Amino acid sequence: MAWTWRFERSDGTETEPSLQPEEFTTQGDAESWIGEHWKELLDGGAEQVTLFDDGTKVYGPMGLDADQG
The mean pLDDT value for 43-56 works out to 96
pLDDT in tens, 5-38: 999 999 999 999 999 998 899 999 999 999 999 9
Hey, where are the domains in the chain? 3-63
The reported pTM is 0.90
Nearest CA to 66 out of 45, 20, 35, 44 is that of 35
Return d(Cα 13, Cα 6) in angstroms, integer.
10
